[in-house]
Chain A
Amino acid sequence: MIKSSLRDRFALARNVACALLLLAAAPAKAADEKIDPEADRRALQAFFFAKFPNVAKDDFGNGPYAVNAEMRKQWKEIMEFPPYELALDEGHAEWEKPFANGKHYADCFDNKGEGVRQTYPRFIAETGQVETLEGAINRCRVENGEKPLDPMTGVMASLAAVMSESSRGKPFAIAIPDDPRALAAYERGKEFFYSRKGQLGVSCASCHMSPAGERMRGDILAPALGILAAMPIYRSDWGSMGTSIRRISTCSSQTRAVPLKPDDEDYRNVEYFLSYMSNGIPIVGPGTRP
């Protein structure tokens, strides 16, 4: 371990040196360049539509199954008995169960929680922060005298599955209000997505932009476009359901970075960024992944 770590250290030092050389050669960019989420979204979507000309826009939410024929074939067989069905059953039962004060989850959401998942994450003006779907569910619980749930799995994933199911087919419609704090949160999410992390020195973009559709060991890398549309997912590797935050946290570990706390601002912001990039892509969750 120690010897290999030493090798890795030299490799990282070399990579950092190369990056610095490239940085020196690249044209200088203003650090305060204008934050323009809509221009970013158009560029990212155009990139993926050009990269995968045979993938329908509405199919991008299916991730690796949209871009790899063999995986799609396996997925269709899996979907004969979707592995998230038990979670949906649990979620529906939990959704209907009243809190101790007699109120329900439905009382906390627009339209009683039906068909609103595509509008999360949201920027909350009162807190000046991004709130994920799971954060909204936990806020609902706390405001009604209940304890918050684990935001990554279990009952939370089941409740998120119910809300996703009611939004199936509805395109992501993430709003970034004209508020400098919202734009800053979006920009920090973008920074997280493009920043190299962990001992392996890779970013989210390192896997989910240009290499999307390629194989990394046993996995087909999903395109960043639509990457959260199937959440929450039953992931075979976990053997259970997980929310967007669980998936992002797992990505952190895979780069050999120490994962942040599940409700960390950085995770919420990157979810905000990625969901905004997918505006127009329909929700397909709950989903399944290898």
Chain B
Amino acid sequence: MIRAIFFAAGLAILSLPALAATQAEAEAAIAAAQAAESAAVAAKAAWTTTETALTQARKALADGKWDEAIAAANEALAQAKLSVEQANEQKASWRNAVFR
């Protein structure tokens, strides 16, 4: 009997909603990704794939799939940061590609 109680309690703990992503977390991830993408657009460095990932994140958010929304938003965030890094790196190195 005691073993059964512990087993049920364990199951209850594992299914706690606190362990899953929340809507607020998904919204925050998308907001962070959007801010990074806006910075990339302002730097004329944005990638189309970043915007695709952001669109996927927004759709997942609308569908109530918080984990998927966060994963896609994190992908967009990473790509937005990389695109700005690429632009900054090229500002320093483009002359090395010039044909002479």
Contacts and interface: CB of A to CB of B under 8 A. Distances in A.
Interface stretch (B3-11, B12-20, B21-29, B41-49): B41-49
Interface of A: 1-2, 5-6, 8-9, 12-13, 16, 19-20, 22-23, 26, 29, 31, 33, 40, 43-44, 47, 190-191, 194-199, 201, 203, 205, 209, 253, 256-258, 260, 264, 266
A201 B62 CA distance: 32
B83 to A, nearest CB: 8
A16 B99 contact: no
Contacts, number: 89
B49 A256 contact: yes
B51 interface: yes
B51 A258 contact: yes
Nearest to A23: B93
A96 B100 CA distance: 46
Contact of A6 (B45, B75, B87): B75
B96 A29 contact: yes
A257 B87 CA distance: 11
A163 B49 CA distance: 38
Given A16-B89, A199-B79, A44 B99 contact: yes
Contacts of A205: 97, 99
